[in-house]
Structure 1
Amino acid sequence: MIQRFIELGEGYSDLYELLELINANQHRLQHLLALHTKLDGRELTSLVVILKPTDPGKFQPLYVCREGIPNPNYSPNKRYELFAQTAAVYNKQIHELSVKPSSIFYEKELYFQYLIGILRLNHYLLPLQ
């Protein structure tokens, strides 16, 4: 199985694309995540949509708006509220995790591999097969 992050942006106008992906793929919706981090003294959140793997092909996309939304636990905001409202429509819980910021990794792909490892350990993703 291939599990891959697909970055849409930082959560400004691309947040609406993330919400549209949820609406269009509600039958494949597996998990919604809020990954909290501290970057340059600011508390930020990445929003992630994990879809069920394709059949055939066994490709599992993880759509992400990376580190552009203020952490709602410190600064409530409309963008996170829209994500939470969409989660409620489909009776999905938003799983929250604290992670390291992407800036400490040499490459963005290394950051995504780090996140995949965390998600596997927490059973949000299937282990390697």
Structure 2
Amino acid sequence: MIQRFIELGEGYSDIYELLEIARRNQHRLAHLMAFHTVVNGNEVTSLVVVLHPTSPGDFQPLYICREGIPYPYTKPNKRFDLFKELARELNKEIIEMNVKPSTMFAEKELYYQHLIGILRMNKYLPPLQ
């Protein structure tokens, strides 16, 4: 199985693409997630749409808008509100986690491997086969 983050951007206009991916793939939607962190002293959130693996192929995409949305509990914002509305619409709960910032890693790929490890450990993603 291949599990890979697909970065759409930082959550400005690309948030609408993230929402549309979830709506158009309701039959494959596994999780809606929010990763909270601190980057350069600013509390920010990444929003993630996790789809079930393809069959055949066993490719599991995790679409992400990385670290561009203000932390919603100290600075309410429309982008996180849209994500909450999506969760209600699709009858899903948003899984929220505090994670290390991507700036702590030498490469984005290492950051994404770190997140995949956390998600596997918490059984949000299936293990490697």
Bin of the TM-score, shorter chain as denominator length: over 0.9
Give the aligned residue type for 1:47: L
Equivalent position SS for 1:118: helix
Equivalent position SS for 2:65: strand
Instruction: Show structure 1 runs of 4+ deviating over 3 A.
Output: none
- Identity among equivalent positions (%) equals 67
Q: How does 1:62-101 map to 2 (within 5 A)?
A: 62-101=62-101
**Structure 1, gaps ≥5 residues long:** none
Measured against aligned partners, the alpha-carbon deviations of 1:77-107 in whole angstroms (never above 9, x if no partner) come to: 0000001101100100000000000011000
- Aligned Cα root-mean-square deviation (Å): 0.5
Per-residue deviation, 1:113: 0.2
Give the aligned residue type for 1:103: T
TM-score normalised according to structure 2 size = 0.99
Per-residue deviation, 1:67: 0.0
Aligned counterpart, 2:56: 56
TM-score normalised according to structure 1 size = 0.99
CA distance in 2, matches of 1:95, 1:127: 19
Give the aligned residue type for 1:42: N
Q: How does 1:1-129 map to 2 (within 5 A)?
A: 1-129=1-129
CA distance in 2, matches of 1:28, 1:53: 8
**Structure 2, gaps ≥5 residues long:** none
Per-residue deviation, 1:73: 1.4
Measured against aligned partners, the alpha-carbon deviations of 1:13-70 in whole angstroms (never above 9, x if no partner) come to: 0000000101110110000000000011100000000000000000000000000000
Equivalent position SS for 1:37: strand
